[in-house]
Chains A and B, each alone.
Chain A
Amino acid sequence: MQKDNSAPSTPTSARARHRRRSNEFPADESKTNGHLLLVNDHNKYRSMWIRACSSLWMLGFFLLVIYLGHLYVLAMVVIIQIFMARELFNLLRKAHEDKHLPGFRLLNWHFYFTAMLFVYGRILSHRLVNTVTSDKIFYRLVSRLIKYQMVICYFSYIAGFMWFILTLKKKMYKYQFGQFAWTHMILIVVFTQSAFTVANIFEGIFWFLLPASLIAVNDVAAYFFGFFFGKTPLIKISPKKTWEGFIGASVATTISAFVLANIYGSFQWLTCPRKDLSTGWLHCDPGPLFKPEYYPLLPWLPSTEIAILPVQWHALWLGLFASIIAPFGGFFASGFKRAFKIKDFGDSIPGHGGLTDRMDCQMVMAVFAYIYHQSFVVPQDYTVETIMSEQPYFGRAANTVYEVRTDIAGENVRTELKFIQMHFEGDCNQNFLWMKGIVLTLFASPVMVGLDYSLRMSPA
């Protein structure tokens, strides 16, 4: 981060993107749009080098975590989420109002903790039950927590709500209500995408890795196409984006979606779903989606055959979405920054700005990937349902048995099955250590938050 201080000594050029210590817009906004295009930057190679370096580090770290497994990916998502929430909480705070309102920041983190408990409680409850433990006390504690999870979260929220009302101060009502609404919006944005990301991870790392890679590929390709060919500006909100970059990136993303799906689909580590919270190796039947089908490359030469996994066709749709609609997440973030006159969401990542700057398109993509998976991929896997649907018309009974996930009756049977399971005293020896690890992670975040708070309160 120190290295960038040498930048201001370079001659005046349109360096709107270049990160500086203060988070305000540089005064060269008045220059025409054409001057801001990347093709005309003199120091563009320097900034490209910085961005490339930090990108490579992020990529390397990401690959390592993927190799380690589902739980570690989950932990990484949680950590990214904490930092993103912190960036956003700090964003619209006004320093001098905050002095009159002690404990207001703590309220933000209280709501954060409640949301965390709610979202991850729901997602992981199913998996927690499957991870049978030999430690009876822990097991009973966990099952009780799951049963009353909704009540606990609700009372925690109501406590925060009452705390907010009791600390309303005269003449600061508007600021406090604004902050309250802002807190809710942040939590919704952050937790929606991370909840869907985590749900995708447990369906198989493939469904997390592919969408994330496509967004990264789209970003990188748009940057390079704009770098070399960019001439026509795309949208007023983001003056550095160009039509050439957009279209080039779309084509590149769609092609790489097809190719990447083939590569990723060959690893069982990526394609198998994880039913519990263990970390060992996975074996499973890949399912019809990942079985290669052979098509002759040239129709008249049957010897040139290529193997195509059916999932590659799904990947084409994901690629299309990633290149056309996901960039709107980036436009939203840019518009937001312009509206509130901030330059970047934070400065954690050199060359890229804050964490939220990197995650803005990922958020839109994660939600889409989950919904696509639930609507179009999952129903194809259930062969029992297809058998039953061929028979003359079972009526609603046909839906009451299985994990047809969009069906509420099925949900009830699964829930009741879960409670039958919980009544059995299992005595298996699976390592419950990882379950403790998850619970510890969930509870460790307020500790981190408390540390952060106390560090800030100390006079620095």
Chain B
Amino acid sequence: MEKENNIALSSAGTSRVRQRKRSNEVIPEPSKPNGGTLLVDDRNKYKSMWIRTYSTVWMIGGFALVVYMGHLYITAMVVVIQIFMAKELFNLLRKAHEDEHLPGFRLLNWHFFFTAMLFVYGRLLSQPLVNSVTPEKFLYQFVSSLIKYQMAICYFLYIAGFMWFILTLKKNMYKYQFRQYAWTHMILIVVFTQSSFTVANIFEGIFWFLLPASLIVINDIFAYVVGFFFGRTPLIKLSPKKTWEGFIGASVTTMISAFVLANILGQFQWLTCPRKDLSTGWLQCDPGPLFKREYYTLPGWISQWFPWKEISILTVQWHALCLGLFASIIAPFGGFFASGFKRAFKIKDFGDSIPGHGGITDRMDCQMVMAVFAYIYHQSFIVREGISVEKILDQVLTKLTFEEQQTLLTKLGQILQDRLGHS
């Protein structure tokens, strides 16, 4: 990290708004016209591209390794990323001299973080956790009672933090403390919403986590590359380095790669099978109608040019097109939001963990919007296709004991009788 800093500082003074420095202030150059900051005109752009490429390759490599290792490790990675993101954001709007008068205030932030973690992951992982501990009776009872009272436990932890906050209000510091309190809540909402949806996606099948994340990465990379070579027209005042050429080029590339990637990723059972418990072993499952191949014969004129007579398309590739569309058009707004936020509060980067890229939040800003969309899309359009009377009957007959089936039948009969009886 030292080496890059020295290289950066020793390079001649050029418009290097993106270049990372020790202090986190914006370089004062508002007088230049907008054209002056486009990437095409940078002299040292190749150097910065090399730094960014290097750290990107490392990130992708690390990510691929974790995906290979499995669902639990991905969840752990998400949790670790989340902790670092929260730390960056907590530190952001803190004012050093007020903090001296308020000991224990930072601890309050982490208390709320821990409560939110317990709440969110408790809800998400309760079913897989229960499925994991069924072989052992004692652990099962402990876990199921923990789950039953999970909401009450989290609530009391939150109330304890709330009361602690009120009892530590200091005269003349009320405004600062309330602002920090609101800021803490906003951070926790942003961080936990996206990470909880990410983890929910992971347990539905790594495919539903990997595909959206890859699309965002591809969109970023191609926007950078296309803007590097062809960028002329600025896109939005908030992010002066983004261009329309980069945006449109990246959109097209993202849609195409969504279609192709879904095909590639859909072939691996490791990626497409859902995980019902917290084990780490190999997965086998019936892929379901979404991942079954359909063969389309290509029209005659294509087979003259290319050696393929027919192509196989998985049904999921059409869904991937929708994901690609969202990733290229709407997800960049997460990046604009982060840029606007940095301008509003006059900060340069959220942190400096990643060389060339800024902090972790800088990388995750578009991912957050995408993760939420992927989960909602999955819940609304993909899961619903799986419900049918046969499937439910199958679940009822295989998963419930005989007495439970009888009780279910009685209850269902009662409900239907009520409905018919009223007509």
Which residues of chain A have a CB within 8 Å of any CB of chain B?
Answer: 132, 147-148, 150-151, 154, 158, 161-162, 165, 168, 170, 173-174, 176-177, 181-182, 184-185, 188, 236-237, 325, 328, 331-332, 335-336, 338-340, 364, 367-368, 371-372, 374-376, 379, 384, 388, 393-397, 399-401, 406-409, 416-417, 419-421, 423-424, 426-430
Contacts and interface: CB of A to CB of B under 8 A. Distances in A.
Contacts of A184: 186, 189
Interface string B121-151: 0010011001100100100100010011111
Nearest to B183: A181
B423 interface: yes
Contact of A147 (B148, B174, B384, B423): B384
Interface stretch (B242-250, B251-259, B289-297, B340-348): B340-348
A406 B333 contact: no
Given A154-B376, A371-B155, A407-B126, 17 more contacts: A158-B333, A173-B344, A182-B182, A184-B186, A185-B186, A237-B166, A336-B178, A371-B152, A374-B151, A375-B151, A393-B137, A396-B131, A399-B144, A401-B400, A408-B126, A416-B395, A424-B416
B423 A427 contact: yes
B423 A401 contact: no
Contacts of B185: 185, 188
A339 B186 contact: no
Contact of A406 (B150, B183, B336, B387): B150
A420 B389 contact: yes
Contacts, number: 150
Contacts of B340: 165, 168, 173, 177
Contacts of A429: 422-423
Interface residues of B, number: 69
B107 to A, nearest CB: 19
A184 B131 CA distance: 36
A165 B333 contact: yes
A199 to B, nearest CB: 12
B238 A328 contact: no
B379 A331 contact: no
A416 B389 CA distance: 9
A408 B177 CA distance: 38
A147 to B, nearest CB: 7
Contacts of A148: 380
Contact of B238 (A165, A364, A424): A165
B130 A396 contact: yes
Contacts of B422: 132, 428-430
13 contacts: A158-B333, A158-B369, A165-B340, A181-B182, A181-B183, A185-B182, A325-B159, A332-B166, A339-B175, A393-B137, A394-B401, A395-B140, A424-B419
Given A165-B336, A374-B151, A406-B147, A325 B174 contact: no
Nearest to B158: A367
Nearest to B345: A174
Contacts of A376: 152
B372 interface: yes
Contacts of B423: 426-429
Given A151-B376, A151-B380, A332-B162, A406 B412 contact: no
Interface string B383-423: 01001010010010001110110011000100110011011
Nearest to A173: B344
Nearest to B128: A408
B22 interface: no
Nearest to A387: B403
Contacts of A368: 155, 159
B337 interface: yes
Given A173-B344, A375-B152, A428-B423, A395 B174 contact: no
A29 B189 CA distance: 38
